[in-house]
Amino acid sequence: MLRLRTLKALALSASLACLPITAVQAAQDDVTIGFIVKKPEQAWFINEQQAATELGEKNGFEVVKLSGVDGQEVLSAIDNLHSQGAQGFVICPPDVRLGPVIKRRAEQYDMKVVTVDDRFLNSDGEPMQDVPHLGMSGYKIGQQVGNAIAKEIEARGWNMEDVAALRITNYELPTAKERTDGATDALLDAGFNKANIFDAPQQNTDTSSAFAAASPVLSKRGNFKHWVIYALNEESVLGGVRASEQYGLAPEDVIGVGINGSGAAFAEFSRENPTGFFGTVAVSSTMHGRDSAENLYTWITGGDKPPANTETAGTLMTRDNWQQVREELDL
């Protein structure tokens, strides 16, 4: 009997020796992954982390939810994950230029890393192809925003020459530039006057910073009655809409279209009276959180590295269809 047990132990050791180290770890220990986000208070990231956590509970692995609002906090979060025995992490970085630094810290601990939403850039400013990414095409999503605005301008019978565009920008974030560039190009293709597009550079990506950026632009351009508003996300568009309200513009004179499809949009659509927030191009944050966590888990346990870049599409959500779209996208 002792000889039989010894032979079985040797056979198990031999079989494990043929597996990648990460697969051996998964076979011997529980899998733990991290999910690090740059804005843990925003609904989009709350949904992502929650979806990943629910997947972990279903499939038997642990998800540690962490904040990474700047580079130092990200590195501390990775150290934290290492101390908990994590085999990898999903991250939406606070600055895409931190990619090489974050990747080196992950490699130091033999941890796998995938990005979600915002993609790592290398020292040349190019996407890091060796780090798997799941996100949306910022430019194409932006085009959807621009096309939705142009269509609504036509539906309201406005003369494009009399319409101004408030473009709330954050060019430090490549994803933000891609989205606003896409929207701008779509508007110009539809016949919008380029001279009527006014920039409002924001310091952050939230409602308050967008409000602060938008207010002086609206004040200086009082000769326009009709305004359209677009930005990198719906929180920023809402900041522009709030600024238009303070300036005295009526809701029917404003068309704001955001990007995401989160609680901020749901609250706006649930108001008794419509506001200048016309719609948002909804992308499933739930799907982003679930799929990125699943990709990482599969990579850890099976050795199958996810694709270098996976892009998702968006759906226009308005006051008329938001509940239906929310259900369809599992938001």
Residues 298 and 235 in one domain: no
**Which pLDDT belongs to residue 44?**
85
Please name the helix (run of DSSP H) or strand (run of DSSP E) that holds residue 134, with its range, or none.
strand 133-136
**Which pLDDT belongs to residue 172?**
81
Q: How far is CA 91 from CA 39, 112, 158, 312, in A?
A: 11, 11, 43, 17
CATH number at residue 106: 3.40.50.2300
Q: Is residue 20 in a domain? A: no
Per residue in 84-110, pLDDT (tens digit) is 999 999 999 999 999 999 999 999 999
Residue 1, number of CB atoms within 10 A of its CB: 5
More confident residue, 235 or 4: 235
More confident residue, 228 or 313: 228
> The tokens of 88 are what?
């990898």
Q: What size, in residues, is the chain?
A: 331
pLDDT of 272 above 70: yes
Residues 117 and 176 in one domain: no
Q: Is residue 4 in a domain? A: no
Q: Is residue 165 in a domain? A: yes
Domain residues for the domain of 120 are 31-131+285-311
**Distance (Å, whole) CA 317 – CA 148:** 10
Residues 184 and 257 in one domain: yes
- For the chain, the domain total comes to 2
Q: Is residue 318 in a domain? A: no
Residues 278 and 294 in one domain: no
**Which pLDDT belongs to residue 263?**
81
Q: Is residue 15 in a domain? A: no
**Which pLDDT belongs to residue 28?**
40
pTM for the structure as a whole: 0.70
pLDDT of 12 above 80: no
